[in-house]
């Protein structure tokens, strides 16, 4: 039996980068996957694969969430898994960060997952079962990166724990994954910080950057029934960087 046989899973930011890897892995493991993304070209591409349905979602829009969840429920009958993966980053120096930058980051990376949890919980409560996996960042665990990105990922960490405590008795599990630096289109573009990436690898016990599948594998575990007794937990997938 496949590890996500008969499950219906929504992955935000599911059409590119780590989310895309998760979408393919989940579908290989038997899930019906809804890759929810704001990038329409990427959505069109990923929808060509069997059992992956691209659907438009702006995670910061309450209306979009309501519409998406209603449609998934109507078409597929249930919602077993929500992965709050969509997010943005910024390289803007801290001296230049203003209220607009802050609000944009916190809205997409913080309010987005909040809305996802807020609106999926009623569906999962009705089923008496559900698994939510939030993608935070190792920067939310250690003192690194004084910027809106770390703040937004810290908000994801706090929300995960609170939701786990609050909805555990309803059978809903909420866990978080904390990636280190992962080789994705987002990090590959960080040319300006290439030297920094090399330093990070040297300082990482496992001596390499993470790959999207490292994160996808951890998310798969937390989304599956193998982790039925795990909630409020934090899986740090950073090659041991933050354990030092």
Partner 1 sequence: MRLEGKVAIVTGGAGGIGRGIALAMAKEGAHVAIVDVNEENGKKTLEEVNQFTEGMLFIKDISVKENIETMVSEIVSRFGKIDVLVNNAHASKNVPFTETTMEHFDLSFGTGFYPTFHFMKACYPELKKTKGKVINFASGAGLEGQVTQASYAAAKEAIRAISRVAANEWGPDGINVNLISPIALTPGVEYWRDHNKEAYDAMVQKIPLRRLGDPEQDIGRTAVFLASDDANYMTGQTIMVDGGSVKLR
* Interface residue list for partner 1 (CB under 8 A): 161, 164-165, 168-169, 171, 173, 180, 204-208, 210-211, 214, 217-218, 220-221, 226-240, 242-244
Dist CA 228 CA 82 (whole Å): 15
Decide if 234 contacts 175 (C-beta within 8 A): yes
Least gap, CB of 153 to partner 1 (angstroms): 16
Closer to partner 1 by Cβ: residue 61 or 187: 187
Least gap, CB of 162 to partner 1 (angstroms): 9
Which residue in the block uniquely carries the two structure tokens 């390289």?
A: 91
Token pair of 94, please? 């801290």
- Label residues 103-112 b or e (16+ Cβ within 10 Å = b): eebbbbbbbb
Least gap, CB of 25 to partner 1 (angstroms): 10
- Residue 23 burial by Cβ neighbours in a 10 Å radius (0-12, 13-18, 19+): buried
Closer to partner 1 by Cβ: residue 98 or 244: 244
Token pair of 224, please? 């599956």
Least gap, CB of 44 to partner 1 (angstroms): 30
Closest CA to 59 of 20, 100, 104, 9: 104
Catalytic residues: 149
Closer to partner 1 by Cβ: residue 154 or 171: 171
Please name the helix (run of DSSP H) or strand (run of DSSP E) that holds residue 236, with its range, or none: strand 234-237
Q: Strand, helix or coil at 212?
A: helix
Closer to partner 1 by Cβ: residue 101 or 234: 234
Taking phi over 0 as left and psi of -120 to 50 as alpha, with beta for the rest, 92 belongs to beta
Closer to partner 1 by Cβ: residue 144 or 206: 206
Least gap, CB of 60 to partner 1 (angstroms): 27
């Amino acid at each position: 039996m496949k590890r996500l046989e008969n499950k219906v899973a929504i992955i935000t930011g599911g059409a590119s980068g780590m989310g895309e890897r998760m979408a393919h892995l989940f579908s290989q493991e038997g899930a019906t996957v809804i890759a929810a993304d704001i990038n329409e070209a990427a959505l069109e591409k990923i929808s060509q694969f069997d059992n992956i349905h691209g659907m438009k979602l702006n995670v910061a829009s309450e209306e979009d969430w309501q519409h998406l969840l209603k449609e998934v429920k109507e078409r597929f009958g249930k919602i077993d898994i929500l992965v709050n993966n969509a997010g943005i980053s910024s390289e803007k120096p801290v001296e230049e960060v203003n209220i607009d930058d802050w609000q944009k980051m916190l809205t997409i990376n913080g309010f987005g997952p909040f809305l996802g949890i807020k609106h999926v919980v009623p569906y999962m409560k009705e089923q008496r079962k559900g698994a939510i996996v939030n993608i935070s960042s190792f920067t939310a665990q250690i003192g690194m990166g004084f910027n809106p990105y770390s703040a937004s990922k810290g908000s994801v960490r706090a929300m995960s724990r609170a939701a786990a405590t609050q909805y555990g008795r309803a059978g809903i599990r909420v866990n978080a994954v904390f990636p280190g630096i992962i080789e994705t289109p987002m990090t590959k573009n960080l040319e300006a910080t290439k030297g920094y990436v090399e330093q990070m690898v040297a300082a990482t016990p496992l001596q390499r950057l993470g790959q999207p599948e490292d994160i996808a594998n951890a998310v798969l575990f937390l989304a599956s029934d193998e982790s039925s007794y795990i909630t409020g937990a934090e899986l740090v997938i950073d090659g041991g960087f933050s354990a030092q």
